[in-house]
Structure 1
Amino acid sequence: MKDKLKLLKDIAEFLNEETDLKTMLDGALRELIDHTAFETGWIFFINEAGEHEMAAHYQLPPSLKKRDCHYMEDGSCWCVRAYQKGHLQTATNIFVCSRLEKAQLEFPGENKGITHHATMPLISGTESFGLLNVASPNREEFDKDELALLESVSFQIGSTLKRIELTAKEKESVVIKERQRLARDLHDSVNQMLFSIGITSHAAKSLSGNGKVDEALTSIENTSKHAMKEMKALIWQLKPIGLENGILHAIESYSDLLGVDVNIELEGFYSISDAAETELYRVIQESLNNVMKHSGVRAADVKMTVQDKQLVTTVTDRGAGFDLRKKTVTSYGFGNMRERIRKLGGELDIETEIDEGTVVRITVPIEE
């Protein structure tokens, strides 16, 4: 077992060097467990809706690994509920763990003597990211020194999570600037060349009397027009040109480029930040792309309604629909869309059935 100060120093040095979220969590948890009396540990991320996910774990007892970590992923528990209510501020002994109890009942003797755990929120300043839990066989309570160590490591991990988050935002800003540069280059060079090809082929066709040549020139002209249309759509994805005239105008212009007939309704007045409006527009763009690519129809309804300090946007089509349970729907990009909206403090839901169309429902908070 390492000296406490040496362990904290080693963990701090490791965290300071890490930029990958998964590697950081796994490594910090492993370092803590391997060099203390703790036998196992796991980390929950908990979002603003109170939903948790297991972000990392180390040396879980067999019962908790069963059925793809069912008891770790499914349902709530005392520590998650206490976290949601803001009751956890320091390292705390958990006297009854429903996850361990349920796992022991279904798989007797496979808890390796682990019945209780300690928990500590992952905090950076006023922000909380989730929980760090640790446990040992035949231990119902951890002493003050062990809890103090757990607090120190949790604060270190929380600070690192905040640093990685800020670094990711900085990188995203760089990416956005690069996309804007690429959009300008595409517009100034490739788009101009395609336009020239279209003009030249059209002029050449008027001078030719050969049927096959005329047919080839017509094909070139049509292809250049199609390529220009695709290029403009790509530029809009790289840089949301048109948002300066409002999101409704931007949606109409983008749907025209896609060839999707969109009926737009707005009920009420709303105020959201420019950054939030851009993210919302990106998600609506992707929803319209899905209509074009997957629905089998070329029409959609976009409705934006202000309800209870929230802006609710729905994108509805009456197309083919799909089975949400199948993993093949990842091609629709719903994971990225949900993540964009989650960062705004909102939610994204999908309602769909085969041959019954699709409704994408986006809810984001509005400014006071």
Structure 2
Amino acid sequence: MEAVTSTTVVPPTHTQSVSGWAAMDASSGKVEPFIFKRRALGAEDVAIKVHYCGMCHTDLHFIHNDWGITMYPVVPGHEITGVVTAVGRDVAGFKPGDRVGVGCISASCLDCDHCRRSEENYCDKVALTYNGVFWDGTVTYGGYSRAMVAHQRFVLRVPDALPLDAAAPLLCAGITVFSPMKHHGMLDCAAAGAALGVVGLGGLGHVAVKFGKAFGLRVTVISTSPAKEREARARLGADDFVVSTDEKRMKAMARTLDFVIDTVAAQHSLGPVLDLLKVDGKLVLVAAPDRPVELPSFPLIFGRRTVSGSMTGGIRETQEMLDLCAAHNIACDVEVVSTDGINDALQRLARNDVRYRFVIDIAGGQASL
């Protein structure tokens, strides 16, 4: 298949031709080869050869325009790892040959209270790594591409102890579960024998289990699938497993958990999960179901429980997570696919047929889709 060349008007500063893979509209649900322009290296920019890019469920939402905000053509990918090829004259801390990553964020205002605290993900003017609007007014393109140009503020250093393929999903799935764990004190109370529940055992859930075990929490996996018990316990080290439809077992576990991270992206009721929490327990939603979840009031009222949400994390926090992952030997369980296999992987991802994250070997293959 021949590559499609963008007809979008680009500013004169965008001089670098890059090949990638884009969804051209919502009808096919597929990506195809696509050639587009990235900006020339600026004074504070880092040029990156992309080696790997994780495939997030968010990519499917944008490809299909599920949220009604996709700007086609869209080049997905916000779990990007690679190697620095060049740096701008004012770049400090990066040099050619460095192992780096780019996550969900490509720009923010840099001047608000959130940005000053390195909570760039909550900036009102945050620009996503793809399908966002950069400072120069251009639409951002993601990591399903051979090369990236990123502002140094939004580039992460990947520790040598982490493989670039298994580290890629940490830049979305990893930080998405790490951030609320840190914010709500889950990492500070392991000595007290705190108990964490993880709802859903997918790309986010399996990393949450690994974090919980690494930091000394007692971890229970809550799933609709009995078949996942073996992998939860034997492969990931979960202490307990409960099938959410087993009413007797769920009732027996009432008021046993201090925290719950809910990673399920499908519509479901939060009531049964809330009943698992102790008084003052916390439930954090990190997924984005396409329809509202059910939130009954009685489990909240009678347990003084809290429900909150969390999205990705700031740059400083993401770097902290990567460093901790290296120290604790935590990486994602991945299935690496070639660029020839992107569309097959997207179809399997839509069926949740992956353990636990697809990662595209961007640098390894040269064939078209």
TM-score (norm 1): 0.24
Which structure features the higher share of strand residues? 2
Determine which structure has greater relative contact order: mean sequence separation of CA pairs < 8 Å that are 6+ residues apart, divided by chain length. 2
TM-score (norm 2): 0.24
